[in-house]
């Protein structure tokens, strides 16, 4: 089982659940600054000695790459950009996550549905 991907999905599901419950609270980065749509962010471990950032690795599914944690502690991994997925009638439904090197696959996190999916573009 791909534990880093599962951990990432659970972390994002928890973050989205908290945001939907307390809509007045903005999503912030490690410095307490609001996330900016389209800006590149790196996901890194909180504690030293736990490996590096997230990156891509080969797997056997429809998308040829999987999201994994780099074993090298000094590696920042690949950047992610967050873009709100907006429905004019319902407001923000979730976030679209784009990762450098994974342009042909799209990871979508629907906060209201707590469901993640990988779609081929």
* Per-residue pLDDT reduced to its tens digit, 73-97: 888 888 888 777 776 666 666 666 6
Residue 27 makes CB contacts below 8 A (sequence gap 6+) with 15, 19, 34, 35, 82
Distance of CA 76 to the CA centre of its chain: 15
Prediction pTM value: 0.54
Cα angle: 111, vertex 116, 120; to 5 degrees: 130
Give the list of residues 6+ apart from residue 18 with CB closer than 8 angstroms, or none.
25
Q: What confidence tens digit (pLDDT) does each residue in 59-78 have?
A: 776 665 677 888 888 888 88
């Amino acid at each position: 089982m791909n534990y880093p991907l599962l951990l990432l999905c659970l972390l994002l599901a928890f973050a989205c659940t908290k945001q939907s419950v307390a809509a007045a609270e903005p999503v912030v980065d490690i410095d307490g600054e609001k996330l900016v749509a389209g800006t590149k962010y790196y996901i890194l471990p909180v504690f030293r000695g736990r490996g590096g950032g997230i990156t891509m690795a080969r797997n056997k599914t429809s998308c040829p790459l999987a999201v994994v944690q780099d074993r090298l502690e000094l590696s920042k991994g690949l950047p992610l950009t967050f873009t709100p997925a907006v429905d004019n009638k319902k407001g923000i439904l979730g976030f679209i996550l784009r990762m450098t090197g994974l342009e042909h696959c799209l990871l979508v996190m629907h906060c209201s549905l707590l469901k993640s999916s990988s779609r081929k573009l």
